[in-house]
Amino acid sequence: MEITIYRRWASDPEGYWREFVEKTRSLIYWAKMPEKIFEWNPPEPFKWFPGGYTNAGYSAVDYKVGRFGDKPAYIYLNPELGVERKITYRELYELTCRFSAAMRAAGVKRGDAVLLYMPNTVEAVAAILAAARIGAVSSTVFAGFSPKAVADRVELVEPKIVFTQDYSVRRGRKTPLKENIDEALKISQWRPQMVVVRRAVAEEKEPPMEKGRDMWLEEFLELGRYGDCSPEFVEANEPLFVLPTSGTTAKPKPVVHAHGGYQVWIVHGALLVYGLSSDDIIFNTSDIGWIVGQSYIVFAPTIMGTTSILFDGVIDHPKPDIFWEIVEKYRPTLIWTSPTAARMLMRLGVGQARKHDLSSVKRVVTAGEVLNPEVWRWLYEDVFQKRVPVIDHWWQTELSGPAIGYYYALVKDMPYGLEFMSIKPGSAGMPLPGVEVEVVDEKGNPLPPGQKGTLVIKRPFPGMTPTLWKDHQRYMADYWGRYEGKLVYYTGDAAHIDEDGYVWFGGRADEVIKIAGHRIGTIEVESSLLTHPAVAEAAVVGVPDPIRGEAIAAFVVLRPGWTPSERLRKELIEHVRKTFGPIAVFVGLEFVNMLPRTRSGKIMRRVLRRVWTGEAVGDISTIEDEASIEEVREAISKMKTLREEG
């Protein structure tokens, strides 16, 4: 299948981007139009739109206030604290200007870094936009990370100022963010000049404050009362923000995104995949500490002139239908969530959704992990009654916005669509213009349709990170130097491409299970388990097997009403062998109450495998609940005992 707009790009890549930049000038402000579209002299960093001058903060705030001044930019919700707050584009502009002036007064200059360790709040968004406006570089750390994880990121970025909050609340538990920062700065070799603290609730007990370093947010903003808040236009390839990836065994990789290419790419995805317009209200359940939050909570929604629900909470607390209650009350037209969140909602049951009016929703999009076909079916059929498209798509922290997806206007059954592009449940869709991919073997040789390998990208596109912060050599080695003699971008994701050009992901390439010469993706087996009515969540890994090389160890969370038993264990294994195939050989299957996940919701399969092999689990500072590892240890002990007895 060939998409006309993709063919248009392929026939004249530079012409396509030149035209796109011209057509989106009402969204993205250019103080000086680019002199060229693209240049690259490897191993130097590539450049998009060189010679152009712009500013992502200006495009998002100053450039929109005239058109959307009294329109809500954000509706802040914290259900656990009972807080709701609306902020218009004019109010956002004024707050952002105050932050800009205060940063300048505190000595932050163009190119300097600031770091945020805050939940989704209006002030956090304003600080990110303000840093951009003055040409500074922001770096946001997820406000659930441990002090050690924060310290790693402080050392990588070397910020002049750290912004934090006294505490955050999740499921009734307080996370002492300010105390975590204090601990992180004892560990880190880098010392910021200033720590700025926001109060979550005014009457709460104050955290310890270090004299000469710490100040309350109100005091900080006063620094810029009479200061300069004017924007600074920067060359398109100057850094906008640094977002360190979640490290596994090594230090996190500090991914850099630049003002020009980043703006173009996130608007490109917003238009082609989400069909976004200024009439939309977005309910995005991600966090500003992840790339999804940076791109589609902070920057793209404001550049597009939309209203966003700024959600500071979890989707099943303080009551199981809080997610659907928000949809009914605030009437979002676009729901943006993760497959992990969708599986959580499915576990709670469709009855929670059916209590509420969901008629405002026009589309649902997910990314982060593969949206398993059974979860897609539940959303599309059971929840939304086949009324709206449920669209999976794929990208990474390094890619800033949609790279593989479904073209919104072409999706079959869209109210005004061209009924051209069918959704294939389980597939992330097809490459977007600018993205040229292939699946390769372990030596980097291209594989034919249907064969499994690793996805690579054959050329840069505007949203791709051009470097790592202060470590370009590592960037070239890790991303472009994987295959000898081949200059292709290594995604690290296992995939295959079908005869129609749709891309199917099977998990991380280093997690592929190799059973007697067969390569099986973890996602394939997990999706098969999820089609059984007893299964709410599942995780599988390959573990050493003396006969077949590897076999499958599976960990299953049951839906309410189901009880673990030997009979159900055997039934689930047989179910996979029937629905997926007899090549799925299990070493064992055990039931657990929770799976080890990162705080962004991704299953830590690395931990599962290492517990099995007896290796050190490595850095688990990003884990959501350490108790899940003890559950896994117990489950693996049972598996090994049963294996020996068998």
Tell me the two tokens of residue 274. 């989400």
% of the chain exceeding 70 in pLDDT: 96
pLDDT at 300: 98
Cα of 297 vs its chain's centroid, Å: 11
Lowest-confidence segment of 66-70, 313-317, 411-415 by average pLDDT: 411-415
Average pLDDT score over residue span 595-619: 83
Which position has the token pair 């390094």? 398
**Cα–Cα distance, 578 to 600 (Å, whole number):** 33
Q: In the predicted model, is pLDDT for residue 416 greater than 50?
A: no
pLDDT at 295: 98
Size of the chain, expressed as the number of residues it contains: 646
* Helical residues (DSSP H) of 106-238, grouped into ranges: 122-133, 147-157, 177-187, 217-223
- Amino acid at site 527: S
| Strands 72-78 and 307-311, sheet pairing | parallel
296: left (phi over 0), alpha (psi -120 to 50) or beta: alpha
Lowest-confidence segment of 260-274, 384-398, 521-535, 599-613 by average pLDDT: 599-613
pLDDT at 1: 67
| DSSP code at position 421 | B
Beta-carbon count within 10 A of 384 CB = 19
Domains, the chain, ordered by start: 4-440 (3.40.50.12780), 453-506 (no CATH), 513-645 (3.30.300.30)
**Cα–Cα distance, 37 to 358 (Å, whole number):** 43
Q: What confidence tens digit (pLDDT) does each residue in 436-472 have?
A: 999 999 999 999 999 999 999 999 999 999 999 999 9
The three-state secondary structure class of 559 is coil
**Cα–Cα distance, 576 to 55 (Å, whole number):** 51
Q: What confidence tens digit (pLDDT) does each residue in 347-382 have?
A: 999 999 999 999 999 999 999 889 999 999 999 999
**Cα–Cα distance, 455 to 436 (Å, whole number):** 10
The three-state secondary structure class of 27 is coil
**Cα–Cα distance, 525 to 538 (Å, whole number):** 9
Average pLDDT score over residue span 237-241: 98
Alpha carbon of 173 to those of 78, 317, 318: distances in Å?
Answer: 14, 12, 12
Tell me the two tokens of residue 83. 């807080």
Q: In the predicted model, is pLDDT for residue 627 greater than 80?
A: no
Average pLDDT score over residue span 75-92: 97
Strands (E), 189-347: 194-198, 214-216, 234-235, 239-244, 254-258, 281-284, 307-311, 334-337
**Cα–Cα distance, 73 to 322 (Å, whole number):** 22
Q: What confidence tens digit (pLDDT) does each residue in 150-208 have?
A: 999 999 999 999 999 999 998 888 999 999 999 999 999 999 999 999 998 766 678 99
Residue 146: partners with Cβ closer than 8 Å, 6 or more residues away: 180, 621, 622
258: left (phi over 0), alpha (psi -120 to 50) or beta: beta
Predicted confidence band of residue 434 (pLDDT cuts 50, 70, 90) = very high
Cα of 628 vs its chain's centroid, Å: 22
% of the chain exceeding 90 in pLDDT: 81
Alpha carbon of 144 to those of 222, 287, 367: distances in Å?
Answer: 29, 10, 20
What mean pLDDT is reported for the chain? 93
- Are the C-beta atoms of residues 210 and 162 closer than 8 Å to each other? no
Tell me the two tokens of residue 148. 């050690």
Q: Determine phi and psi for 545, rounding to 5 degrees.
A: -135, 130
- Are the C-beta atoms of residues 497 and 504 closer than 8 Å to each other? yes
Q: What confidence tens digit (pLDDT) does each residue in 24-33 have?
A: 999 999 999 9
Q: What confidence tens digit (pLDDT) does each residue in 465-474 have?
A: 999 999 999 9
| Strands 168-170 and 173-175, sheet pairing | antiparallel
- Are the C-beta atoms of residues 458 and 438 closer than 8 Å to each other? yes
Q: In the predicted model, is pLDDT for residue 14 greater than 50?
A: yes
| Strands 194-198 and 214-216, sheet pairing | parallel
**Cα–Cα distance, 147 to 168 (Å, whole number):** 15
